[in-house]
Structure 1
Amino acid sequence: MFHWRADILPGVSAAFTDEGAGNLALHVGDDPAAVQERRIRLEQSIGLEPQALRFMNQVHGTTVALMDAQSPVPVADAMVSRGLPLAVMVADCIPVLLAGESGSGPVLAAVHAGRPGVANGVLPAAVDSMKALGASRIRAWMGPSICGSCYEVPAALRDEVSALVPATRSTTSWGTPALDLPAGARSQLEAAGVDVEYSGACTLETETLYSYRRDRNTGRFAGLVWRND
Structure 2
Amino acid sequence: MIGQQHHVSGAHFAFTDRWGGVSAAPYEQLNLGGAVGDDPAAVRTNRARAAEALGLDPADVVWMNQVHGRDVAVVDAPWTEGDAPPVDAVVTSRRGLALAVLTADCTPVLLADPVAGIAGAAHAGRPGLVAGVVPALVAAMTERGAEPSRILAHTGPSVCGGCYEVPEEMRAEVAAVVPEAWATTSWGTPSVDVTAGVRAQLAAAGVQLRPQPQPCTRESTDHFSYRRDRTTGRLASYVWLGGAPGEAAL
* TM interval, short-chain normalised: over 0.9
TM-score w.r.t. the length of structure 2 is 0.87
Residues 174-200 of structure 1: CA distance to partner in whole angstroms, max 9, x if unpaired?
Answer: 111111111111100000010113352
Q: Which runs of 5+ in 1 are unaligned?
A: none
Quickly say closer, same or farther: Cα 1:56–1:69, change in 2 above 3 A: same
The residue that corresponds to 1:133 in the other structure is: 144
Q: Which runs of 5+ in 2 are unaligned?
A: 21-29, 244-250
Match of 2:219, as an amino acid?
Answer: E
Instruction: Give the % identical residues.
Output: 50
The residue that corresponds to 1:69 in the other structure is: 77
TM-score w.r.t. the length of structure 1 is 0.94
Quickly say closer, same or farther: Cα 1:199–1:188, change in 2 above 3 A: farther
The residue that corresponds to 2:217 in the other structure is: 203
The residue that corresponds to 1:151 in the other structure is: 164
Question: In structure 2, how many angstroms separate the alpha carbons of the residues matched to 1:11 and 1:20?
Answer: 27
Counterpart of 2:132 (choices 121, 137, 158) is: 121
The residue that corresponds to 2:232 in the other structure is: 218
Question: In structure 2, how many angstroms separate the alpha carbons of the residues matched to 1:36 and 1:124?
Answer: 32
Contact 2:119–2:241 at 8 Å: present in 1 too? no
Question: Does 213-222 or 70-79 show the bigger shift?
Answer: 70-79
Shift of 1:15: 0.5
The residue that corresponds to 1:48 in the other structure is: 56
Shift of 1:102: 4.1
The residue that corresponds to 2:192 in the other structure is: 179
Question: In structure 2, how many angstroms separate the alpha carbons of the residues matched to 1:203 and 1:147?
Answer: 8
The residue that corresponds to 1:190 in the other structure is: 203
Count of aligned pairs? 226
Question: In structure 2, how many angstroms separate the alpha carbons of the residues matched to 1:19 and 1:12?
Answer: 24
What's the RMSD between the two structures over aligned residues?
Answer: 1.4
Contact 1:62–1:121 at 8 Å: present in 2 too? yes
Contact 2:60–2:77 at 8 Å: present in 1 too? no
Contact 1:169–1:178 at 8 Å: present in 2 too? yes
Contact 2:62–2:78 at 8 Å: present in 1 too? no
Question: In structure 1, how many angstroms separate the alpha carbons of the residues matched to 2:206 and 2:161?
Answer: 23
**Structure with the higher fraction of residues in strand conformation:** 1
- Give the secondary-structure state (helix, strand or coil) at the position aligned to 1:99: strand
Question: Does 71-80 or 37-46 show the bigger shift?
Answer: 71-80
The residue that corresponds to 2:177 in the other structure is: 164
Q: Does 1:37 align with 2:36?
A: no
